[in-house]
Structure 1
C-alpha cells in the first residue's frame, strides 16, 4: 500500500511540475492530495498551520538580507575592480588569467551566497575579457560554470540557511563547516586549470604584460573593499554576540556603503536590488512552505518511516548510502533546482541519516556539494541557464565544457567522506 501511495504521489508531483505550476504550489498540491486521499487528518487545517509556521520562522530572516546584499553587490563596480586587482598576480601562473574565474567566484561567493549571482557577476567581467585575449572559449565557460557553484559552499550560503532550518542545526556551524571544503574545491579547480595549461601550452595566448612586485601591490588596492566586506560579514557570523540575521544586516549596510563609495548607488539601483531580492525570497519561501507541508503530509502517511526502514533493510554501509544519495541527488537535479531538492527530500532522508549515525553538519556540506553538481547538470542546471543567457551557447555545449568540474566535485565528495575532519574540525574547534 505504501509503495502504491508513494508512486501515485511522485507521478502527481511530476505531472503538476510538468504542467508549469510553480514548484511551491506543486509541492503544496501533492501534500494536500496525499492527506485528503490517504489520511484522516483534515488537509486544510494542516496546510494553514504548516505554511504559516514555515513562512514566519525567525531563522529565515537572515535569508532575504543575504539575498539583498548579493543583489546590491551585483549592481556595483565590484567585478571590474576585482579583475584589476587579481590579473597582475596571475600572469606567470600556469593557466594565467583563467584562474580569475575561480578566484573571482570564490571571493564573490563570500559576499553573495547565491550560485547564479556569483556566476553572472564574475562571468560578465571575465568572459568578454578572456575571449578578447584569446583564451579557449570552452575553458573560459567550463571553469566559470564550475567555479560559480562556489556561491553555494563558501559562506554565507543561502542553501545552508535553508538546510539549517529544515534539519534544525546551527547555521553558524554550517557556515564555518563550509570554509575548508570551499577552499578545497577552489583549489581542485585551479589545480585542474594549471595541469591542463602545462599539458596544452600552445592552447593559451602568450603573456603580453609584465608587472613588478610594486605594481602588483598597487593593483591589489582594488581588492580592499570586497576583502573588508568579507571580513566584516564573516567576523560577525562567527562572533558569539551576533546572530546570522544580524550578520546579514551588517552585510547589507556594508554593501550599501560600498556601492555608495563606488558611485553606483542611486534610486534606480537601490529599487532594482530591493525588488530583485524580494522576488527571489518570495519564490524561496513559497517553495519552503510547500515542502514543509509536504513533509507533514508524508509524516502522516508514514512514508519517511517506511523509506528509512526499507533503506535500513538493504544493509548498506555508510559509504554506499552516501554514494547512493549522491547519485539520487544528481538525478533529481536534472529536474529540480537546488533549494527545491533540499526542502523536498530532507523530511524523508534525515531520519535515515540520523539512524546511520552520520553527523548532520557534515551531511549539510555533503548536500551542498551534490547540489553544486546539479547546478551544472542539464536540463535544469541554473548555472547553465545563466551562461546560456550570457554567451548564447547551447546548454549541452556548456554542460560538456563543465564536465571536468563535475568530476572534480565528485572527487571532493569522496575526499570529505574519507576525511570528515575537513568539514567538522573547524566548527568543533571554533564553537566549543
Structure 2
C-alpha cells in the first residue's frame, strides 16, 4: 500500500472515531495503534506504554498545570469586576471609548491566564453587561471581545505555547519572550481598528461618562496594581533568566493565591473549585498530548512525515508559498478541531517539512499560535464563538459575522510577521545575548 492510501486510511479512521464521540486523546491513540499494527513490525502495545509514560513524565510539561491553575484562581476572584472600574476612566478620550476595555482587559488577563476561552469568558462577564447598559453597538462589543479573547493564546504565559514547545522541542522560555511583541502589536491593531470604525460611525458611540480627575482615575485603577505586579514577576523572572518557565509558573500560583487572599475571595470553596477546574483541564490536555506522542511515533515508524517532507520538497514551494499553504490548512483544520488538538496532531508531520524549508522553529511557533487564534473565531468549532454564544444567547452566525473583521486583522498580523520576522525574534535574541 502506498503512502497516499495509508494516509487516506488513517485520516478516515481519525474522523470516523471522532464522529462516534470518542475523546480526542483516545482517538489519536487509536489511530496510532491502527497504523503501527497494520503498517509496522514493532509491537503496538509496547510502543504505546513507553510513549505515553514518557510524555506524561516530562518535566518541561510541569509548567502547564501550574499556569492553568493560576488562571483558574484569578478567574474566581473579583478581578473581572475590578478591572472594568480600573480601565474605563482611561478609555473615555479614545475614539470608541469603552470598546477598548475589551482589548486592554483581554491583554491584561491573557498575561495571567494562558487560555483563550478563559480570557474571553472573564472579560466578557465584566464588559458585555456594562457596554450593553451604556448603549454600545452589540456587533462591535461581541466582535471585539471574540477577537481580543484570542490574545490569551499569544501573550505569555500561553498554554498552547507550552504544548508547541513540548511537541516541537523548542524552548518554552524563548517562546514566551517571542510572544510579547506580537501580542502587544496585535492588541494595538485591534484597538486601531476600533478607533477607525468609531470615527466612521460616531453616531453609534454613546457620549463619555462624567470626567474624572487624575487622582480619581488612579484611585479607580488601584485594584489593577496587584495583577500588573504578578504579570511583571512571572514574565520578568523568565526574561531575566532567574527562573525557568516551570519555576515562574510556581511563582504565579503563589502570587495568584496571595492576590485572592488579599481581595478576600480566597475561601475553601474557591480554592477547591480552582484546583479541580485546573485538574480537569490539564487531564484533558495531557490525554491529548499522550495520544499525539503515540501518533507521532507511529507516523515515524510508518515513514509518513519523511515522505511528506520529501514530496513537498519536490513541489519547489518557496518559504512564502509554504506559509500561505499552511495558513489555509490550519484555518480549515480549525473548523473541526480545537487549537491544542490541531498543534499536537500535526507537529510530528509538519515540523520535518518546516525544518527542511529552513524556517526558524521559534518563529514558526509564533506563526502557529496566531493561525490557531484565527481558528478560535471560525465556525463551527471556534471556541470563542461557543463562549460568547453562551454569554449572549445569540446564534453562532451573528457572532461569527461580528468577529470576521478581527479575523482579517489576524490575517494582517500573519503577513506582518512574515515581512518583519524580527517582531517575533528580536526579544529572544536579546535574551540570548
**TM value normalised by structure 2:** 0.99
2:115 aligned residue = 114
Secondary structure of the residue aligned to 1:402 is helix
Deviations 1:289-342 (A, max 9, x none): 000100000111110011111111111110010010000000000011000000
Is it true that 1:38 corresponds to 2:39 in the alignment?
yes
1:9 aligned residue = 10
Note if contact 1:173-1:431 (Cα within 8 Å) is conserved in structure 2.
Answer: no
Deviating above 4 A after TM superposition, structure 1's stretches of 4 or more consecutive aligned residues are none
Q: CA RMSD in A?
A: 0.7
Deviations 1:353-378 (A, max 9, x none): 11111111000000000000011111
2:128 aligned residue = 127
- For 2:61 and 2:295, the matched residues in 1 are separated by 19
Secondary structure of the residue aligned to 1:62 is helix
**Structure 2 counterparts to residues 62-101 of structure 1, below 5 A:** 62-101=63-102
Is it true that 1:373 corresponds to 2:342 in the alignment?
no
Name stretches of at least 5 consecutive residues in structure 1 with no aligned partner: none
CA shift for structure 1 position 431? 2.3
CA shift for structure 1 position 80? 1.3
Note if contact 1:50-1:292 (Cα within 8 Å) is conserved in structure 2.
Answer: yes
CA shift for structure 1 position 213? 2.3
- For 2:414 and 2:316, the matched residues in 1 are separated by 22
Deviations 1:258-317 (A, max 9, x none): 000001100100000000000000000000000010000011111001111111111111
CA shift for structure 1 position 248? 0.3
- For 1:268 and 1:205, the matched residues in 2 are separated by 40
CA shift for structure 1 position 241? 2.7
Note if contact 1:106-1:186 (Cα within 8 Å) is conserved in structure 2.
Answer: yes
CA shift for structure 1 position 212? 2.0
Note if contact 1:333-1:341 (Cα within 8 Å) is conserved in structure 2.
Answer: yes
1:56 aligned residue = 57
1:158 aligned residue = 159
Secondary structure of the residue aligned to 1:216 is helix
2:197 aligned residue = 196
**Structure 2 counterparts to residues 2-401 of structure 1, below 5 A:** 2-401=3-402
Name stretches of at least 5 consecutive residues in structure 2 with no aligned partner: none
Note if contact 1:91-1:209 (Cα within 8 Å) is conserved in structure 2.
Answer: no
- For 1:237 and 1:250, the matched residues in 2 are separated by 11
Structure 1 stretch 157-166 or stretch 240-249: which is displaced more? 240-249
- For 2:220 and 2:264, the matched residues in 1 are separated by 20
Deviations 1:67-117 (A, max 9, x none): 000000000011111111110111111000000000000000001111111
